[in-house]
Amino acid sequence: MGRSWAVIWLLWLPGLARGYLNGSDFENAYCWINEASQTLQVFQRCPPEVQLQWTVPPPGTVKEGSSFEATYNLTINLDVLDVRNDEITHLNLHACRKRIGACTPILEETPELISMSEEETVTGFDGNEVIRQKYTLDEGTWTVIAHVKFSAENLEGDLMEYEAAIGWDVFSEPELSYLGTDVEKFVVAVAGISYIFYATMLYFAVSTKNKALQKMRVYSITNVLGAIIFTTTVFFWNLYMQEVSCSSYLWFAILGSSLLYTPLFIMSVKYLFFKRRIAPSKASKIANEALENKVSVAIAAAILSFDIVILVLWMTLSLPEPYRCGG
Q: Does residue 2 surpass a pLDDT of 50? A: no
Residue 95 near residue 146, CB atoms below 8 Å: no
**CA dihedral sign, ordered 279, 284, 285, 287:** negative
State the burial class of residue 162 (Cβ atoms within 10 Å of its Cβ: 0-12, 13-18, 19+): buried
Output the CA–CA distances (angstroms, integers) from residue 62 to 6, 139, 159, in the order listed: 32, 9, 41
The pTM (predicted TM-score) of the whole model is 0.54
Helix (H) or strand (E) holding 297: helix 285-317
Predicted confidence (pLDDT) per residue in 244-301, tens digit = 444 455 566 666 666 666 766 666 666 666 555 444 455 566 666 666 666 666 666 6
HEC states along 102-156? CCCCCCCCECCCEEECCCEEEECCCCEEEEEEEECCCCEEEEEEEEEEEEEECCC
C-alpha Rg value of the chain to the nearest Å = 33
Please state, for a pLDDT cut of 70, what percent of the chain lies above it.
Answer: 47
Helix (H) or strand (E) holding 91: strand 87-97
Residue 80 near residue 154, CB atoms below 8 Å: yes
Predicted confidence (pLDDT) per residue in 137-185, tens digit = 998 899 999 999 999 999 988 899 999 999 899 999 876 655 666 666 7
- Please report, for the chain, the start and end positions of each structural domain, with discontinuous segments joined by +: 2-173, 182-317
Residue 147 near residue 104, CB atoms below 8 Å: no
For domain 2-173, give its CATH number from 4.10.410.60, 2.60.40.150, 2.40.50.100, 3.40.50.150: 2.60.40.150
